[in-house]
Chain A
C-alpha cells in the first residue's frame, strides 16, 4: 500500500492564501485597535472627569496585555493549534468591548477594554503569525508581508469608522458595536484550517503541534497521506520512555530557545529596537503642530505614513522572497532597521511642511519594511516548529520596551522643550540595533555555514532533527529533513499528490 511515512512540506499556496487573508484581518485588529480607540478618549475623559493620561492608560494596558500575554498564547497554540485559540480570542475581544460599553468607572474600563480585550487580541495575534509559518515556506516572506499589511489597512479603516460610530452612537454604543466587529476575528479563526505540516522532532521535545497535527483533521492539501499509524516509530518510543519535568515544560513553551544563538541575537536586537520604534509615530502629529502646521495637515501626515506603509509591506515581502535576498534576509532586516533610524536622525533637519511630508514617506516605507519582516526573520532563524514558543517569548520581552518607548520620548520632549532630542534618541537606538543585528547575523551565518559543512561531512542520520538553521545554502530545505535516502519517497508522494488533486 502506498502509505507515506512523513508529512509533506507546507503547501505554499492554495488554502494558504485564504489563511493569509484571515491573518490579515486578525493581525490588523490586534495592532490597529488600541490606536483606533483613541478617538473616544476625549469624551470618556469628560464623562468620568479624569485626566487624559488616566484615559490613555486604557490603550497602554491593551497594548501591554497583547504583547505580555504572548507566552500564554504560545502555550495554547502548542497545545490546541491556532484555530481554537483565535476563535476563543475573538470571543474574548467581543466580550471585553461589550462589557466595556456598560462600565461605570475608569477602573472597570481598564479591566474590560484594557485587559480582557487586550488578552483576546493577544490570542489573535500570535496564532495568526504562527499559522502562516505552517502554511508557507517558499513563499513565506510574501505571505508574511501581506498578512502584516493588515495593520495599516485596518488602522485606515478603523479611524473614520470609529469617528462615524462615535458621532451616531456615543462612546457606549460604539463600544457595543465594536465588540460585534471584533467578533469577526472568529471568522478569521475559522479559516485557519489545521495543517500537519510541521516537524515531529524526535529527540527530547516532541512539539505538541507535531503530535496534535497528526490527530487533527486532514486538510485538502493531501496531508492525509500520513495516517496516524505512520507516526515515526521513534517518536512513539520517546513518548513511552517518559519525560522529566524540563521536557514537559518545554513541550508547552520551549525555553531551550534561550540557548539558540539566532534567537538570542534576534531577541536582543529587537528589544533594543522597540525602544525607538513607536515613539516617532506617537509624536509626529504633535511635532507638526509644534512647528506651526495646522491640525488637519498634521493628521494628513499620519495618513501618508499609513498609505506608504500599506504598500511597503507586501512589496517588502516580495523583495524578501526573491532569490537574491532570501538567503540574506537577516541583513535586509538589519538594513531596514538602520534605515528607519537614519530617517529619524535626519528628521530634525526637515523644515516646513514639505520636509515633514518627505520624512513621513520615508518613515512609512522604513516602518513597513521592518514590520513586514518582523516575524519572518524570527521564523527564518528558529524554524516553524519552534516559532510558536519563540514568538511568545519575544513578545513578552518586547512588551517592556514598547511601553517604555513613548514615555521616555515624552520625558525628553518635556525636559528639553524640543522634539529633536526625541528623534535623535529614537534614531540612535535604531541605528545601533540595526548595526548590532547586522554584525551578529554575519557572525551567525558564518558559524552556521561551518556547522553545515561539518554536518555534511558526517554520515546522514535520517532521525536527526534539523530545525531551521538558515545557512546560505540551506534556506530551501528548512523544516522537515529526513535526509537524502527518503528523497525518492518524497518524489513518489508528490506524484500521488498531483494525482489526487487531479481527480
Chain B
C-alpha cells in the first residue's frame, strides 16, 4: 500500500511491477481499478503494468488498485490524497478572560486558503473574524501556518475547533480542542501546597523550640548536679 499526497492538479503514473520471485506465474490478467470502476488504458511492459492519470479535481482522488490474477491473486493499492493537516491531540488549556492561540500547520504543501470552524452541537460554524473582530483574530503567520486567536475567553468558547486548509484538489481538516478553565481550578492545588509549606515550616520551628527547651532543662540539671558536687 502506498499513500501519495497531492495538493494541485498534476499528471501521475502509477505502476505495478512484478517481483522476480513471481515470474513463474503465467497467464496473468491485470486489472486496474478505481474503487469498483475498471480503468481501460493500461501500459504494459515486460513485467510491469502502469496507468497514467491526470488528476484535475477532487473526484479523481481516491484509492487505485492493481490486481494480478493468475493462479494466485496479488495486488497493490495506491491512495491519492490531499495533504494532511495536523491539529493537536491534547487539548489547549486556557483561562476565562485570557487569550487562546490555536495553531494549524500544513507540512510541505501551501494551502490556498485557511478557514476555521467551531463545533456547535453537531454542526460546524465558520468563524468570521471580520464580523467579530474583537473576539477572533485569524492570522496567516507564514505560508503553511495559521493562527486563530480567541480573545476574552468564556466558558462557551470551550469545545472542538477545526482548521480547514483548501487546496486545489480538495480540503483537509485538522482538529483542535480548547478547554477553558476558571481561575479556581489551579488555585486549589496552589493553596493546598502553600498550606503544606506553612504547616511543615511551623512543625520544624516548633520541634526546634521543643528540643532547645529539653537541652536547657538537661543543662540546668547538670549544673545543679555539679554545684551540689562542689
Tell me whether A183 and B197 are in contact (CB under 8 A).
yes
- Minimum CB–CB distance from A17 to chain B (whole Å) comes to 15
Q: Is B35 an interface residue (CB 8 A)?
A: no
Shortest CB–CB separation between residue B154 and chain A, in angstroms?
16
Contact between chains at A499 and B222 (CB < 8 Å): yes
Instruction: For A185, give the chain B residue with the smallest CB separation.
Output: B197
A166, A170, A500: which contacts B218 (Cβ < 8 A)? Answer: A500
Given contacts A46-B101, A224-B219, A500-B218, 12 further A-B contacts (CB under 8 A): A49-B141, A170-B95, A172-B98, A173-B93, A174-B186, A177-B189, A180-B193, A180-B197, A218-B215, A220-B212, A500-B215, A503-B222
Main SS at interface, chain A: helix
Question: Within 8 Å CB of A168, what residues of B?
Answer: 93
**Residues of B in contact with A (beta carbons under 8 Å apart):** 90, 92-95, 98-99, 101, 103, 141, 147, 181, 185-187, 189-191, 193-194, 196-197, 200-201, 204-205, 208, 211-212, 215, 218-219, 221-222, 226
Contact B226 A2 (CB under 8 A): yes
A-B contact count (CB 8 A): 83
Query: Closest 10 interchain pairs by CB?
Result: A170-B93, A173-B186, A180-B193, A190-B204, A187-B200, A183-B197, A190-B201, A180-B190, A503-B218, A169-B186
Is A325 engaged at the interface, CB distance under 8 Å to the other chain? no
B99: chain A residues within 8 A (beta carbon): 47
Chain B hits for A190, CB < 8 A? 200-201, 204-205
Q: How far is the CA of A47 from the CA of B93 in the complex (A)?
A: 12
Q: Known: A177-B186, A177-B189, A499-B222. Contact between A183 and B194, CB under 8 A?
A: yes
A181 interfacial by beta-carbon distance below 8 Å: yes
Assembly CA distance A46 to B102 (angstroms)? 8
In-complex Cβ contact of A47 among B101, B185, B226 (8 A): B101
- The answer to whether B190 touches A176 (Cβ under 8 A) is yes
Q: Give the residue name and chain of the A residue nearest to B94 (CB).
A: A170
Partner of B187, one of A47, A176, A183, A499: A176
- B199 → A minimal CB distance (Å): 9
Interface size class of A (residues with CB under 8 A): 20 to 34
- B residues near A217, Cβ cutoff 8 Å: 212
Contacts of B211 in A (CB 8 A): 220
**Shortest CB distance A394–B (Å):** 30
Name the distance in Å between B89's Cβ and chain A's nearest Cβ. 11
Q: List 11 A-B contacts (CB under 8 A).
A: A46-B147, A47-B99, A49-B147, A176-B186, A180-B191, A180-B193, A180-B197, A183-B194, A184-B200, A187-B200, A224-B219
Contact status B222-A184, CB under 8 Å:
no
Q: In the complex the two chains form, is B215's CB within 8 Å of A224's CB?
A: yes
**A191 touches B (CB below 8 Å):** yes
Interface pair A169/B212, CB less than 8 Å apart: no
CB <8 Å contact, B197 and A187:
yes
A459 contacts chain B at the CB level, 8 A cutoff: no
Q: Which of B204, B212, B222 contacts A218 (CB 8 A)?
A: B212
Name the CB-closest residue of A to B141. A49
Interface check A147, CB cutoff 8 A: no
Measured CB to CB, the closest approach of chain B to A89, in angstroms, equals 14
- B202's nearest neighbour on chain A, judged by CB, is A190
Tell me, rounded to whole Å, the shortest Cβ–Cβ distance linking A185 to chain B.
9
Contacts A177-B189, A179-B190, A180-B193; A193 near B208 (Cβ below 8 A): yes
Check B101–A191 contact: CB distance below 8 A.
no
**B interface footprint on A6-49 (CB within 8 Å = 1, 0 otherwise):** 00000000000000000000000000000000000001001101
Distance in angstroms from A161 CB to nearest chain B CB is 12
Q: Which residues of B have CB within 8 Å of A240?
A: none
**CB-CB contacts below 8 Å: A171-228 with B:** 172-174, 176-177, 179-181, 183-184, 186-187, 190-191, 193, 217-218, 220, 224
Query: Is A454 interfacial (CB-CB < 8 Å)?
Result: no
CA distance A217 to B216 in the complex (A): 12
Q: Mark A459-503, 1 if CB is under 8 A from B, else 0.
A: 000000000000000000000000000000000000000011001
Collect the chain A residues with CB atoms within 8 Å of residue B222's CB.
499-500, 503
Tell me how far the C-beta of A93 lies from the nearest C-beta in chain B, rounded to whole angstroms.
Answer: 12
Give the shortest distance, in Å, between A31 (CB) and chain B (any CB). 21
Cβ-neighbour of A503 out of B95, B197, B221 (below 8 A): B221
The distance from the CB of A349 to the nearest CB of chain B, in whole angstroms, is 35
Query: What is the CA–CA distance of A101 and B225 in the complex, to the nearest angstrom?
Result: 61
**Are A187 and B90 in contact, with the CB atoms below 8 A?**
no
Instruction: Please indicate the chain B residues that have their CB under 8 angstroms from the CB of A500 in the complex.
Output: 215, 218-219, 222
Give Cα A499 to B215, complex, Å.
12
Q: CB distance B193 to A183 under 8 Å?
A: yes
A169 contacts B101, C-beta separation under 8 Å: no
User: Shortest Cβ distance from A92 into chain B, in angstroms?
Assistant: 14
A173 and B95 form a contact (CB under 8 A): yes
Residues of B within 8 A of A244 (CB): none
> Is B204's CB under 8 angstroms from A187's CB?
yes
